Amino acid sequence: GPIAQVAEGRTAPVRTYQDLLQDSHDADLFEMIATSQLLVARFDENLRFTVDRKVGSPTMLASVDPSPDGKHFLVEITKRPFSYLVPSGDFPKSVEVWSADGRMEYRLANLPNSERVPIGGVLPGPRSERWHPLEDATLVWAEALDGGDPKAEVPHRDKLMVLPAPFSGQPVEMTRVKHRFSGLQWFETGLAVISESDRDTRETTTWFLQPGKEPVKVWQRSSADRYGNPGSFVSEQNARGQSLIMVSEGNAYLRGPGSSPTGDRPFLDRFDIATHKTERIFQSPEGAYENVVALLDDKATRLLIDRESTTEPSNYYLQTATGRRALTNFKDPAPIFRNVRKELVKYKRADGVDLSFTLYLPPSYQEGTRLPTIMWAYPREFNDAGTAGQVSGSPHRFTSVGGTSPLFMVLEGYAVLMDATIPIIGDPETVNDTFVKQLVDSAAAAIDKAVAMGVTDRNRVGVMGHSYGAFMTANLLAHCDLFKAGVARSGAYNRTLTPFGFQSERRTLWEAPETYWNISPFMNANRINEPMLLIHGTNDNNSGTFPMQSDRMFAAIKGNGGVARLVFLPYESHGYSAIESIEQTHRETIDWFDKYVKNAK
């Protein structure tokens, strides 16, 4: 029958999603598949279970969470009418509290679909609902004070509300936050840890909130500041299965990546809850990469450690006050990669921004030999140059290669500039206005550094990327002549087909038409004079990267007399899983770069 949709004169800026319902038949199928029955089961000593009872009637349950005392269920129920514009997680929902036998005791929210949520906004009404872990049955949730609109000028964006069983009274306001609520944890004492995020500055603020007292600020930092990351509180489950922050004698524990100019060195800190002072009790040593997987007691005297180095595969160790004992002995799955040279390389962009890449050289590399080179990258947005230039990752990690990793190109005689940093720096509202220039300048700096090191032949450099990295690849081929060829996987190339934003772009096509046009390689296909290989999964489910994007990009290059090849991988989504698809991707990539980069005239 006919398929109809309605616009009712209200703004509805929806991102470009895939795999959506197409018609009423799809809607009926979805309802059938999404409908389920909640059961309570009992396990015997042999872990065999039998159904004890049914709870409620079959319905479209999206989530179920039992209360700490086991007498209630917090449920989300998907409702009609479904949407043809947003995925199922954004369909209308009823948030309810059920009794143990499935009787509805309280309806917390009746939420519409998210079609009208502003870009970067949230639905009005209750969200992020959960049980208070220290109470028998008390609801806690966040609620927008700005109507869910991040552009609204208000003194506080969110409030936190609480409502205890029997859910017959009025909810009580727990606190308000200036920016968007982003996290909530609890100590056994009732002290709450609340996080909020500022969309404009990308700053995160963490507060301690004791009932009946004013909030106390613990940290305020840029979420992009890797060097200043204090870590995350280590949690544990209490007797009722509720997650609480682990505490020992007035101290909690913080586990973090330990990013630094020389790479990541994960750490474990002891945190004094009263003074907020920290004491480092573990940090990865130089020359290796060690990470605390778990604390095996509340005094951190027994730690489960994951250790690896450039020559040692990842293995688990038990560390105690008396020493360390190996728990696993996983072997090197690909010994040939132990002869691959690996080095963290730092350099500067023309505007002074610090950049880096990890250089990989073939096992047989001889000093002074200039090699054909592949640059692999993924652009990221930052507010300032300081955080954009910070190093991430570690040069001391075990080189583990699998799937469609570009590192396999090292075994084909290429130097690989892995994860070359491509920071796009500026005001979050307009940062993409200078996307192309910053992109080209970053790529040029990477190539210049590799050439200066004596490892790269400037006339034989290729570029490749996946998703937003594919978008980057096409733009570099269109706007510079630094590369001999490119490989773009699962990308989006025409930004007019993602008109309500992409990546971190906040403006719509109609608000910034020149930017959408200028950074779309599809609009500059006539300028792509280097060979370009496009690979895409036929069932790509990622927002914005429709397979049609590669199809039309190929047609645009071909129509303008360019050199291109288009490969669709059957049944694959945004990433590729089947061994046939992985082997095909490598074969295509090797052949392409051998022909147009390694053996380029």
- Of 392, 331, 389, 332, nearest to 358 (Cα)? 392
479 is a catalytic site residue: no
467 is a catalytic site residue: yes
574 is a catalytic site residue: yes
The catalytic position among 114, 284, 540, 550 is 540
- Tokens, residue 444: 């040029």
- Tokens, residue 297: 């007691």
Q: What is the 3-state secondary structure (H, E, C) of 106-159?
A: EEEEEECCHHHCCCCCCCCCEEEEEECCCCCCEEEEEEECCCCCCCCCCCCCEE
Phi then psi dihedrals of residue 8, to 5 deg: -110, 25
The catalytic position among 67, 467, 490, 581 is 467
Give residue 384's Cα distance to chain centre. 21
**Cα three-residue angle 171-96-33, rounded to 5 degrees:** 155
CB-based burial, 126-153: b 16+ in 10 Å, e otherwise? bbebebbbbbebbbbbbbbbbebbbeee
Residues 6+ away with beta carbon under 8 Å from 174: 140, 159, 160, 161, 162, 192, 209
CA 514 – CA 534 distance, rounded (Å): 26
Sequence-distant contacts of 446-453: CB under 8 A, at least 24 apart: 446/347, 446/355, 446/357, 446/375, 446/377, 446/417, 446/420, 447/373, 447/375, 447/482, 448/347, 449/345, 449/347, 449/357, 450/345, 450/357, 450/359, 450/373, 450/415, 450/417, 453/345, 453/359
The catalytic position among 574, 577, 586, 594 is 574
CB-based burial, 325-349: b 16+ in 10 Å, e otherwise? eeeeeeeeeeeebeebebebbebeb
CA 82 – CA 537 distance, rounded (Å): 27
Residues labelled as active-site residues:
467, 540, 574
